[in-house]
Structure 1
């Protein structure tokens, strides 16, 4: 297995594409985005190994985001490769117009609900319109949690880890006798994947992501191969760190409501993240909403129309610091 780092201007760092080319079949996990420069990098990496896109037999995609799927259609056009993706993300990857229209409609509804200013909405729409760099749309074959694919004496087992994206999936395998996982954006070595904004289709996004993280902790993999940057040698420890990070962020959300009184999601986001630009205009309020929604269901926060306030008695808990952390049920 080879890890191929492909340029990405986003804050997560270089994208990873993973290539299995030592047996009868040539298999990829993720493809990078569809930019011409990325295609040149991937073609050069293939040429170094005596391969072309026409040699690819199967592609497994961790989720629908363009920086992971952008070249899938182009590779399939040259090779006829099967492109596999979770059933929840399959319509988006396949370019289903109804699925994309429903996504855009839901985003717009959230922008209004969150209290996103119109000028920020305009900036965000321009950013999202320029984000789709795929030149060709693939035909896809859906999979679901627990499905196992075999090739060249090895297996990839699907581990569905919804949160960052509805269909986000990892692929568990054994490499050199070690239990390892291709974690996509479910587990990254530096940044915490956005929840709430990165895929507005996900219901209860924080709850689902915390469950996914706990699943990684319980699995105790020997190593994770993420969608961005370098391998993770302690996946369980990294997953637990992100769980702790979200508990700390919950405290910050509660503190913001305590200081500001009833307010909308955009106001909480501004308190947490400051002034936002580019794609962060989506991610900041999205993550704030994910926390507010989670705390509302826990009974810690009360929603009235599009504003949130602390539930009765919570301000006293914050003031007394009786608990060192607000425990999030998942």
Structure 2
């Protein structure tokens, strides 16, 4: 397996792309492709060149989700190689730049940022940023869809698609049997040093925090021995890392409620207390995550919503009941 670290100047953090099928008679496969900007394109070409490969040698691309920093170069690679491209059925229309899917996503985002109470000036700033980075999605590929449980035989290894929604509606990992047990390419479902955004990264996800908590429990239950994330290096204790993220969201929920102790607030106002001043993509991610927590609390009747604002209605909620018990899986950072 080749691990290719690709720069990502449009957003933050390097991406990790994985090259599989390097053995004789195996299917040369990329998991994710990086963002469509000149620097990253050259980095990917150089990385493949270290294995005496070029874009034209890629036979299959498996995408973890639709975000441009994971799928942006896919269409260009497919144009050079004629390779098959696979993505989960929930994200495939966006990856393929389907006009109806793109329009629906844009309309939904506009509606929710207004519902979150985002000021007009910040809405304009966000939309200008998104417009300025629209080219990073790259050329549209032809995409073949898959669903949870689909397997891909690369000749050298078999991968199982594992649906991991939360950060994105169609986020999928790819599990395989490693030397010491089952491992997984986790995309942005599990990251080593920071928590994936939930609520703003994909506004299509209904009950985003609940969906993501279910994904984290699934990661714990699978007992992976190693995870290969979409950013940075491998995670040697995936269950422990997943449990740490559950604890993080439990603590963030307490912070959200502490904001409401001062009175009702919109998701935008809550995000300002949690994250301070926001710019670029964080204008979307901050209130989106605040809303995901408020939505989770509202479903449990801990808070209620009037208009755009939420208020606390249960003075002494059992917050532990809103989160899975992950005490047995907690890693060193959470113990």
How does the TM-score come out when normalised to structure 1?
Answer: 0.94
1:328 aligns with 322
Cα deviation digits, residues 6-65 of structure 1 (max 9, x gap): 012367521011001223221110001111110101111111111111111100000000
User: Which runs of 5 or more residues in structure 1 are unaligned?
Assistant: none
Partner residue of 2:241 out of 238, 247, 272: 238
Alignment partner, residue 53 of structure 1: 55
**Which stretch shows the higher mean deviation, 171-180 or 239-248?**
171-180
1:278-317 alignment, distance < 5 Å: 278-311=280-313, 314-315=314-315, 317=316
Whole-Å separation in 1 of the counterparts to 2:321 and 2:273: 21
236-245 vs 125-134, which moves further: 125-134
Q: How many angstroms apart in 2 are the aligned matches of 1:327 and 1:130?
A: 43
State how far apart, in whole Å, the 2-side matches of 1:294 and 1:124 are.
25
Q: Which moved further from structure 2: 55-64 or 41-50?
A: 41-50
SS of 1:308's equivalent? strand
Counterpart residue number, 2:24: 23
Match of 1:66 among 65, 68, 71: 68
Shift of 1:189: 0.3
Give the alignment partner of residue 265 of structure 2, picking from 263, 266, 274: 263
Q: Distance in 2 between matches of 1:329 and 1:170?
A: 23
- What is the alpha-carbon distance in structure 2 between the residues aligned to residue 156 and residue 23 of structure 1? 18
Which sections of structure 2, spanning at least 5 residues, go unmatched?
Answer: 325-335
Q: Tell me which residue corresponds to 2:84.
A: 82
Residue 116 of structure 2 corresponds to residue 114 of structure 1: yes
Q: How many angstroms apart in 1 are the aligned matches of 2:304 and 2:151?
A: 43
Aligned residues of 2:250 and 2:323 also touching (Cα < 8 A):
no
Instruction: Please tell me whether the aligned partners of residues 66 and 131 of structure 1 are also in contact (alpha carbons under 8 angstroms).
Output: no
Query: Given the two structures, how large is their TM-score scaled by the length of structure 2?
Result: 0.93
Are residues 1:41 and 2:54 paired?
no
Shift of 1:326: 4.3
Output one character per residue of 1:69-88: Cα deviation in whole Å (capped at 9) or x when no partner. Answer: 01100100010000000000
Which secondary structure state, in structure 1, belongs to the residue aligned with residue 261 of structure 2? helix
RMSD: 1.4
1:4 aligns with 2:7: no
Report how far residue 329 of structure 1 moved.
Answer: 4.4
- Aligned to 2:175, what secondary structure does the other structure show? strand
